[in-house]
Amino acid sequence: MTQTEKDQLKETIISVLKTIHDPEIPVDVWTLHLIYELEIDDDGNVKILMTVTAPNCPVADVLPIQVREKVQAIMGVKEVKVELTFEPPWSPDMLSEEAKAELGLDGDWGEYNAMDFLY
Protein backbone atom coordinates (compact mmCIF):
# COMPACT_ATOMS: atom_id res chain seq x y z
CA MET A 1 0.00 0.00 0.00
CA THR A 2 1.47 3.35 -1.01
CA GLN A 3 1.56 6.35 1.30
CA THR A 4 -1.12 8.02 -0.83
CA GLU A 5 -3.37 4.97 -0.44
CA LYS A 6 -2.77 4.94 3.32
CA ASP A 7 -3.57 8.66 3.52
CA GLN A 8 -6.82 8.15 1.59
CA LEU A 9 -7.73 5.17 3.78
CA LYS A 10 -7.02 7.23 6.90
CA GLU A 11 -9.39 9.96 5.70
CA THR A 12 -12.07 7.34 5.07
CA ILE A 13 -11.55 5.87 8.53
CA ILE A 14 -11.83 9.32 10.12
CA SER A 15 -15.07 9.91 8.21
CA VAL A 16 -16.45 6.65 9.60
CA LEU A 17 -15.28 7.48 13.13
CA LYS A 18 -17.21 10.74 12.84
CA THR A 19 -20.42 8.68 12.52
CA ILE A 20 -19.88 6.95 15.89
CA HIS A 21 -21.27 8.95 18.78
CA ASP A 22 -20.79 8.66 22.50
CA PRO A 23 -24.38 8.08 23.64
CA GLU A 24 -24.00 10.30 26.71
CA ILE A 25 -22.41 13.23 24.88
CA PRO A 26 -23.96 13.88 21.46
CA VAL A 27 -20.61 14.32 19.72
CA ASP A 28 -18.67 11.79 17.66
CA VAL A 29 -15.65 9.90 18.99
CA TRP A 30 -13.23 11.65 16.62
CA THR A 31 -14.35 15.19 17.50
CA LEU A 32 -14.38 14.30 21.21
CA HIS A 33 -10.73 13.26 20.81
CA LEU A 34 -11.43 9.79 22.16
CA ILE A 35 -9.14 8.40 19.44
CA TYR A 36 -5.56 8.83 20.63
CA GLU A 37 -3.80 6.97 17.79
CA LEU A 38 -4.75 5.77 14.33
CA GLU A 39 -2.10 3.75 12.51
CA ILE A 40 -2.27 1.94 9.18
CA ASP A 41 0.48 -0.43 8.07
CA ASP A 42 1.49 -1.27 4.49
CA ASP A 43 -0.84 -4.30 4.44
CA GLY A 44 -3.97 -2.33 5.42
CA ASN A 45 -3.99 -3.42 9.06
CA VAL A 46 -5.35 -0.70 11.33
CA LYS A 47 -4.45 -0.06 14.96
CA ILE A 48 -6.59 2.31 17.01
CA LEU A 49 -5.78 3.43 20.53
CA MET A 50 -8.81 5.01 22.13
CA THR A 51 -10.35 5.97 25.43
CA VAL A 52 -13.80 6.74 26.79
CA THR A 53 -14.91 9.81 28.72
CA ALA A 54 -14.60 8.09 32.13
CA PRO A 55 -13.35 4.69 33.38
CA ASN A 56 -16.84 3.85 34.63
CA CYS A 57 -18.43 4.85 31.31
CA PRO A 58 -21.38 2.52 30.65
CA VAL A 59 -20.31 2.04 27.01
CA ALA A 60 -16.65 1.27 27.75
CA ASP A 61 -17.21 -2.32 26.60
CA VAL A 62 -19.43 -1.52 23.61
CA LEU A 63 -17.83 1.57 22.03
CA PRO A 64 -14.49 -0.08 21.10
CA ILE A 65 -16.38 -2.99 19.52
CA GLN A 66 -18.50 -0.55 17.51
CA VAL A 67 -15.35 1.28 16.38
CA ARG A 68 -13.69 -2.00 15.34
CA GLU A 69 -16.73 -3.28 13.44
CA LYS A 70 -17.35 -0.05 11.53
CA VAL A 71 -13.68 0.39 10.58
CA GLN A 72 -13.38 -3.31 9.64
CA ALA A 73 -16.22 -2.82 7.12
CA ILE A 74 -14.21 -0.26 5.12
CA MET A 75 -12.88 -1.48 1.78
CA GLY A 76 -9.09 -1.73 1.94
CA VAL A 77 -8.94 -2.46 5.67
CA LYS A 78 -7.52 -5.91 6.29
CA GLU A 79 -7.64 -6.25 10.07
CA VAL A 80 -8.49 -3.86 12.92
CA LYS A 81 -7.11 -3.87 16.43
CA VAL A 82 -8.72 -1.48 18.91
CA GLU A 83 -7.05 -0.96 22.26
CA LEU A 84 -8.78 0.86 25.11
CA THR A 85 -6.63 2.98 27.41
CA PHE A 86 -7.18 5.40 30.25
CA GLU A 87 -3.76 7.04 29.95
CA PRO A 88 -3.88 9.89 29.65
CA PRO A 89 -7.34 10.16 31.15
CA TRP A 90 -9.78 11.98 28.91
CA SER A 91 -10.98 15.38 30.05
CA PRO A 92 -13.18 18.08 28.54
CA ASP A 93 -10.01 20.10 27.98
CA MET A 94 -9.33 17.68 25.10
CA LEU A 95 -12.50 18.70 23.27
CA SER A 96 -11.96 20.26 19.88
CA GLU A 97 -13.27 23.77 19.35
CA GLU A 98 -15.97 22.23 17.17
CA ALA A 99 -17.06 19.91 20.01
CA LYS A 100 -17.05 22.74 22.55
CA ALA A 101 -19.29 24.77 20.26
CA GLU A 102 -21.65 21.80 19.70
CA LEU A 103 -21.96 21.33 23.45
CA GLY A 104 -22.26 25.04 24.22
CA LEU A 105 -19.03 24.97 26.22
CA ASP A 106 -17.18 27.63 24.30
CA GLY A 107 -18.19 30.58 26.47
CA ASP A 108 -16.83 32.15 29.62
CA TRP A 109 -18.09 30.13 32.59
CA GLY A 110 -16.55 32.29 35.29
CA GLU A 111 -15.55 30.13 38.25
CA TYR A 112 -16.84 26.96 36.51
CA ASN A 113 -15.20 24.90 33.81
CA ALA A 114 -16.47 22.50 31.16
CA MET A 115 -16.10 19.50 33.51
CA ASP A 116 -18.74 20.96 35.84
CA PHE A 117 -21.31 20.69 33.08
CA LEU A 118 -20.45 17.23 31.74
CA TYR A 119 -20.55 15.11 34.88
The structural domain count of the chain equals 1
* Spatial separation of the C-alpha atoms in residues 48 and 58, rounded to whole Å: 20
For residue 26, what are the domain limits?
A: 3-118
Confidence at 59, pLDDT banded by 50, 70, 90: confident
Q: What is the pLDDT of residue 2?
A: 93
Mean pLDDT of the chain: 86
Among candidate residues 31, 37, 29, 76, the one with its CA nearest the CA of residue 57 = 29
pLDDT above 90 coverage of the chain, percent: 58
Question: CATH number for the domain including 102?
Answer: 3.30.300.130
What is the pTM (predicted TM-score) of this model?
A: 0.82
